[in-house]
Amino acid sequence: MSSRKVALVTGITGQDGSYLAELLLSKGYEVHGVKRRSSLINTQRVDHLYQEPHEPDRRFVLHHGDLTDSSSLLHIMEKVQPDEVYNLAAQSHVAVSFEEPEYTANSDAIGVLRLLEAIRTLKLVDKTRFYQASTSELYGLVQETPQKETTPFYPRSPYGVAKLYGYWITVNYREAYGIYACNGILFNHESPVRGETFVTRKITRAIARIALGMQSCLYLGNLSSLRDWGHAKDYVEMQWMMLQQDKPEDFVIATGVQYSVRQFVEFSARELGIELRFEGDGDAEVGVVVAVQGDRASCKVGDVIVKVDPRYYRPAEVETLLGDATRARERLGWTPKITLAELVKEMVEADYHAARRDALVLSAGFRI
C-alpha cells in the first residue's frame, strides 16, 4: 500500500483547481479531480497534467461528477477515500448568479452539504480533512474595513448568499461532528488562466486585442468598484496550508491593497505602451488614449478604447473589498509573494501572446 497522501479536488478544471493540482502533485500527492460532463472538452487548464489510464503509478485521475448530484459524489468519495478534500467547485460568477439563482444555490450551497454528508455517510470523519472555498463576497455590503475573520457578513448576490450557507455548514459540521473542516475566505485572485468573463481577464484580453487592432473598444460596468486582487498561485498554497494545521480554523486570504477597476485598466494598457485618461462620469465615462509608446500598440492618440455599458451593472453591487490577512500571517506565516504589478504584467503578456497567435491564424485565412 502506498503511503502517499490522496487529495480530491472538486472544480479541478477551474482556475484554482489547476494551480492547486500542480501544487499537490509537486508535493507528492495522488490527486483526484471531479470534472463535469460537457459537450466540448473542458479540461484545457489541466491537460498538461493528464496521465494516460494505462500509465503505471498514476498520480492524476479525473472522475465525472457534479456538485448537484449526491450519488456521483458518494461514489467518487468511496472509491478515492481521500485524506483531503478541496471543494473548489462552484457556479462562481456573481453576475450570472442573478440569472441562475436556483442553480447557484444548488451547487454552491447544497453542494457543500452533499460533500460533508458523504464524509459522514462513508465514516471518513476521522480521516478526511475538508477545505471550503469561501469568499470575500460574504462581506458584500461591508460592515468594517479592512475585513477580517470577525467582520460581520452581508452578502449582496445569490452567489454570496449561497456561499454563506456553504461557510456555515462547514463550521457546523466541524462543531457538530468533529470533522477537520475549514473555510478559506479568499479575496479576488486572478491569473492568466482566470475565466475570460471576470473583470481582470476581460480587461487584459481586450487590451491585448485592441493593441493589435483586433478589437476597437472594451465595454465595462462599474469602473469605480474596488477590489483586493492577488495571484491564484499564492492563494492555493494557503488552501493547502490550512489543511496541515493541528486544529481546523478559518482564515482570510488577501493582499491588504485595494485598486479600482479603472486603475486595473490603466495598468494593463500601460503594460503595452498605451497611456489612458478617463473622462466624463457615470454611464458616459470613457477611456481615451493620450499617448502611445513603443511599437506594441497600433491604436492612436484620441482613440476611445473603453466605454461603460450599463448592461454590466449588477442588481446589487459590492462596491469595495479590502482584506486583512493578519491571522494567516501570524499563525501560518503566509504572505502573498506576487504583487499586483507582476500579476498585471503576467496576464497582459499571456493575452498579448495569445492575441498575436490568433491574428496570425486569421491572417493565414483560418478560423480560430
Would you say 302 and 287 are in contact if contact means Cβ atoms under 8 Å apart?
no
Q: 19, 29, 159, 173: which is the annotated catalytic residue? A: 159
Nearer to ligand NDP, 212 or 253 (CB): 253
Please give the torsion angle defined by the CA atoms of residues 79, 83, 86 and 87, in that order, rounded to the nearest 10 degrees.
Answer: 50
Q: Under rule CB under 6 A, how many of the chain's residues touch ligand GDR?
A: 22
> Closest approach of Cβ 142 to ligand GDR, in Å?
13
Q: For strands 274-279 and 286-292, give the pairing.
A: antiparallel
* One residue of 15, 104, 147, 225 binding ligand NDP per CB under 6 A: 15
Nearer to ligand NDP, 221 or 273 (CB): 221
* One residue of 42, 216, 298, 339 binding ligand NDP per CB under 6 A: 42
- Helical spans, DSSP H, in 158-291: 158-177, 199-211, 232-242, 261-271
> Closest approach of Cβ 10 to ligand NDP, in Å?
6
Choosing among ligand NDP, ligand GDR, none, which partner's interface includes residue 228 (Cβ < 5 to 8 Å by kind)? none
Q: How far is CA 45 from CA 14, 126, 261, in A?
A: 7, 32, 26
Burial class of 152 by CB neighbour count within 10 A (0 to 12, 13 to 18, 19+):
exposed
The letter for the amino acid at 44 is Q
**68 interacts with ligand NDP by CB under 6 A:** yes
Q: 137, 190, 237, 266: which is the annotated catalytic residue? A: 137
Scanning 83-91, 313-321, 328-336, 346-354 for contacts with ligand NDP by CB under 6 A, the matching segment is: 83-91
Active-site residue, 159 included: yes
* One residue of 7, 8, 17, 24 binding ligand NDP per CB under 6 A: 17
**255 interacts with ligand NDP by CB under 6 A:** no
Active-site residue, 100 included: no
How far from each other are the two terminal CA atoms of the chain, in whole angstroms? 47
**Residue 147 carries which DSSP code?**
B
Q: How far is CA 119 from the centre of its chain?
A: 25
Q: How far apart (Å, rounded) are the C-alpha atoms in residues 145 and 309?
A: 29
**199 interacts with ligand GDR by CB under 6 A:** yes
* One residue of 118, 186, 242, 252 binding ligand NDP per CB under 6 A: 186
Q: How far apart (Å, rounded) are the C-alpha atoms in residues 149 and 159?
A: 19
**155 interacts with ligand NDP by CB under 6 A:** no
**136 interacts with ligand GDR by CB under 6 A:** yes
Nearer to ligand GDR, 265 or 297 (CB): 265
**135 interacts with ligand GDR by CB under 6 A:** yes
The letter for the amino acid at 275 is E
Choosing among ligand GDR, ligand NDP, none, which partner's interface includes residue 199 (Cβ < 5 to 8 Å by kind)? ligand GDR
Nearer to ligand GDR, 63 or 231 (CB): 231
Burial class of 47 by CB neighbour count within 10 A (0 to 12, 13 to 18, 19+):
exposed
Active-site residue, 135 included: yes
Any idea which residues carry the catalytic annotation? 135, 137, 159
